[in-house]
Chains A and B, each alone.
Chain A
């Protein structure tokens, strides 16, 4: 019995797939996540390649062709209050809207992870100092904090990026700290220290790999909020300035047109909604795909 079994044994067992390969495989099996990924990819690609798609000039208006309804010849999605092509402005608008929505979360991911992992790994007074400072920012409702900083700094894309980054650093830091503290107390970290490894090596090999994933998933769940807030700041006139195409700002300038052409006025908001819900669903899908014990 043993001889045939040995003959059947391959030279080496197929290498087990890495953790992230497994996550990816599980994610591709989830139809909802894949659909969301598709929609997001489409919007992102269209936004990136907007200048090469042969669209109308998003800045050129026409006084006689204002607020045309959806389906007008030459203007598939109508025109805005200055007679500019809506389709072109919506696609071009994705460039700024996605940038100001996603960039703050990326910034906050970097800063918050650094602070949180530091606080969690070092502990003691460093932890106290970082986490108590973070607590102060938790004492503000997120929208109020964004408005306060943006309002004080004044309108502008950079100011809106700064204020949203400040809004998202505290929650990411808190998650990073709690995940790191949890991992740090596991025996394998002690085992690694027992091997004589220095703090930095232990951090690099054993802590980072186990905490960055959960922090990343949490950060992706914030993109949806960030998109809504970033466009919201522009909607209030605190983000992008006219005549730049940006969904929140477009929603604001079209607000007066709801009595004339409501559907066109509602279009930019539908774009924000679509992107926001796709990010939310994708984040949920990623979270369950990362659950190893299933």
Chain B
């Protein structure tokens, strides 16, 4: 067990390094000179050479990567070309907003998905099961950016009860736990929760079905255990996998929030990415993706470790 965690930790290092390499290379697969966005179009040959030296683009790629990663480890991800502020500070401000949105959506999706999944798994092939399964398939098939628009049409345009864009009153980008802010969270969080809802429903339905069809449940029933007792057993057996699915989903939402954030003008990392892409702000793009990807790697590690600790059946040596 301890050995497994240790080995898993050790394995994360090369993965994190490789992830950083991919992020580093993003700037270099980009067409054109990486300097183009920094320099005025009529920059002299001499100025170009100087800037190239300043940014280190005249060095060989491995050296550039070494310098870049050395700085990144110290928290220096360069500066945004568009705003001049450091990438770290830009990402730092946005990441909190994305985190709130993703956590809210994951929790909502998990609660709904667990509910639907349990009911569907318990009453296999009943109409409730069919309804829940249909809902789950719809959840994973929905273009969620479109669902966001539809919800805005219904709740903002028609009913006028919830705001359509932004994370707070008057375009505020700093989060606070008051109703004025939470109102803004509802629509994007509901929209985003549809995907984890669908996946969690499917997972838990399958899990519950599997567990109920196993012989030990019959044995429990034969021993005179009540339905409530059986239910507890099912929950205990399904929990590790369900929690693991939830953790991974949180990671996907954190990294994949760009579409929702664009629809709702939510001032998070997705919005930042969108801006970076269209202003060709490559350092910002690179830095944001690096932070999100490393977060995802860490989250997967945590999920693995927690699942191993929770589930006695998983013995990894």
Q: A interface vs B, CB < 8 Å? A: 135-137, 139-144, 147-149, 151-154, 224-225, 227-228, 231-232, 235-238, 248, 251, 255, 258-259, 262, 265-266, 268-270, 272-273, 276-277, 279-281, 284
Contact = CB atoms under 8 A, between A and B. Distances in A.
Top 6 nearest A-B pairs by Cβ distance?
A269-B146, A141-B255, A143-B256, A144-B255, A277-B141, A151-B277
A17 to B, nearest CB: 29
Contact of B300 (A139, A236, A281): A139
Given A258-B149, A272-B143, A139 B255 contact: no
A142 to B, nearest CB: 7
Contacts, number: 136
Given A152-B282, A152-B285, A153-B29, 11 more contacts: A136-B18, A139-B16, A141-B296, A142-B252, A148-B23, A153-B30, A262-B157, A269-B149, A272-B143, A273-B142, A273-B146
B228 to A, nearest CB: 33
Given A236-B274, A273-B141, A276-B141, A139 B296 contact: yes
Contact of A255 (B140, B149, B273, B274): B149
B289 interface: yes
Nearest to A255: B149
Contacts of B263: 255
Which DSSP category, helix, strand, loop or mixed, fits chain A's interface?
helix
Interface in B139-192: 140-147, 149-150, 152-153, 157-158
Nearest to A233: B259
A232 B137 contact: no
A144 B102 CA distance: 14
A127 B164 CA distance: 50
Interface residues of B, number: 49
A258 B157 contact: yes
Contact of A232 (B140, B259, B276, B282): B259
A276 B254 CA distance: 23
B24 to A, nearest CB: 11
B30 A154 contact: yes
B256 A251 contact: no
B256 A144 contact: yes
B15 A266 contact: no
Contact of B297 (A139, A228, A236, A266): A139
A266 to B, nearest CB: 6
A142 B293 contact: no
Interface in B13-31: 15-16, 18-19, 22-23, 26-27, 29-31
Contacts of A153: 29-31
A144 B150 contact: no
B20 to A, nearest CB: 10
A268 B141 CA distance: 15
A142 B199 CA distance: 15
B22 A147 contact: no
A152 B16 CA distance: 20
B157 A231 contact: no
A236 B300 CA distance: 28
Interface string B247-282: 000011011101100110000000001101110001
